[in-house]
Amino acid sequence: MVKSRFDLNAIIDLKKWHKLQDSLSLVTKMAIITVDYKGVPVSKHSNCQSFCQGVRKDPLLSQYCQKCDARGGLEAVRLNKPYIYLCHFNILDIAIPIIIDNQYIGAIMAGQIKLRDPDIPLLEQIVSRPANSETNNKFKTLEEDYLSLPVLSFEEVSTIADMLFHLCTYIVEEAINKHSTIEMYKKAVSLDTDPPSMDSIVSSDRTYRNIQAIQNELSSTLIETKVKKFTSHEIRPSNRLLQPAFDYIYHHKNENVTLNEMAKLCHISSSYFSRIFTKETGENFSVFVPRLKIEWSKQLLETTELSINQISDKLGFCDAGYFIKTFKKFENLTPAVYRNIYKNNHVEQM
């Protein structure tokens, strides 16, 4: 299986996750355990039934339990939805995949129940266990525990499976957003910039409502750092009327600024702004701003792994296609080709 770029064990708060998992187990009457993309448990087993505890303690039978968990998880990934199946003792289990951005990062394994329905749907027993006297004797010692397993209808099982799927995916997705935000914060700090205060991040994180805004703010901070070589000497125009416009352009790189907006900011007419701007820079406003953004984009292409779409978005282009067209207009090659040439030249110089 391809390694996930997300580490479930590092992303979720295991202490809080255990509390949630225990509560879900009590409400659903199901045993629940969380595993990573390799099938390795990252949580304790909530409400594991006595019968299954006894089986999993047996060196021989536990191997079949592990095979059931592994195959159930793989089938859930293939289907991209909860997979309901029977284990080697014909006990119902559910594998609930956690998939974020098309990446399988783990699964919730729930179940250890029997079905109430007289007409049981055709469920697959994904691992068969050859009968022998040793396993039969083991079952007899645990038969009372087997009979005491919780009983649910198939409709109840299906509803619980869907609920766990949507709930856990949402929680993990939000945790990943938080994790990404913190990583961006650390990166911003390491680059000696002035990122937002950690207090504001922690406060927002408590409700998850402002994570996207924080990410955008941090992303802008990182862009400011990466293009600082082009902005360390801010323009001081000879005509001081233009200063507000230059300040705004340099400090709002992610916006698609217009001539009319800048003229209004400088408290002059658009026609007069256009004339004095061209006189100051030697270029029309419609040429100067895109050229400046292309210079910034070159720095991002050289020093980050941001995609073309991300760079286009962060520098305020309406779409990636327009960004590529503008880049080619000024540089006579595409952003992707520019990045490859830079990387090749950089490798040769090392």
Quick: pLDDT tens for 232-252: 456 788 999 999 999 999 888
Q: pTM for the complete prediction? A: 0.52
Q: Per-residue DSSP letters for 272-294? A: HHHHHHHHHHSS-HHHHHHHHHH
pLDDT at 217 > cutoff 70: no
Question: How many other CB atoms are found less than 10 A from the CB of residue 320?
Answer: 16
pLDDT at 207 > cutoff 60: no
Q: CA-CA distance, 160 to 313, in Å (whole number)? A: 40
Which two three-digit tokens encode residue 95? Answer: 């594998």
pLDDT at 194 > cutoff 70: no
User: How would you classify the pairing of strands 151-152 and 83-86?
Assistant: unpaired
Candidate from 212-221, 280-289, 292-301 with smallest mean pLDDT:
212-221
Q: CA-CA distance, 20 to 26, in Å (whole number)? A: 10
Long-range contacts of the stretch 72-80 (C-beta < 8 A, 24+): 72/107, 72/109, 72/126, 73/35, 73/39, 73/97, 73/107, 73/109, 74/1, 75/126, 76/107, 77/104, 77/107
Q: Give the HSE-up count for residue 108: Cα atoms under 13 Å, Cβ half-sphere.
A: 30
pLDDT at 184 > cutoff 70: no
Per the DSSP assignment, residues forming a β-bridge with 152 are 115
Q: CA-CA distance, 228 to 222, in Å (whole number)? A: 10
Q: CA-CA distance, 103 to 4, in Å (whole number)? A: 6
Instruction: Give Cα 74 to chain centroid, integer Å.
Output: 21
Q: CA-CA distance, 254 to 16, in Å (whole number)? A: 37
Q: CA-CA distance, 178 to 182, in Å (whole number)? A: 6
- How confident is the model over 3-34, as pLDDT tens digits? 455 677 667 778 888 899 999 999 999 999 98
CA distances from 116 to 66, 150, 154, 337 (A): 26, 9, 7, 63
Q: CA-CA distance, 313 to 122, in Å (whole number)? A: 50
Domains with residue ranges and CATH for the chain: 8-177 (3.30.450.20), 228-349 (1.10.10.60)
User: What integer pLDDT is reported at residue 347 of this predicted model?
Assistant: 62
pLDDT at 201 > cutoff 60: no
Which residue's structure tokens are 């595409």? Answer: 334
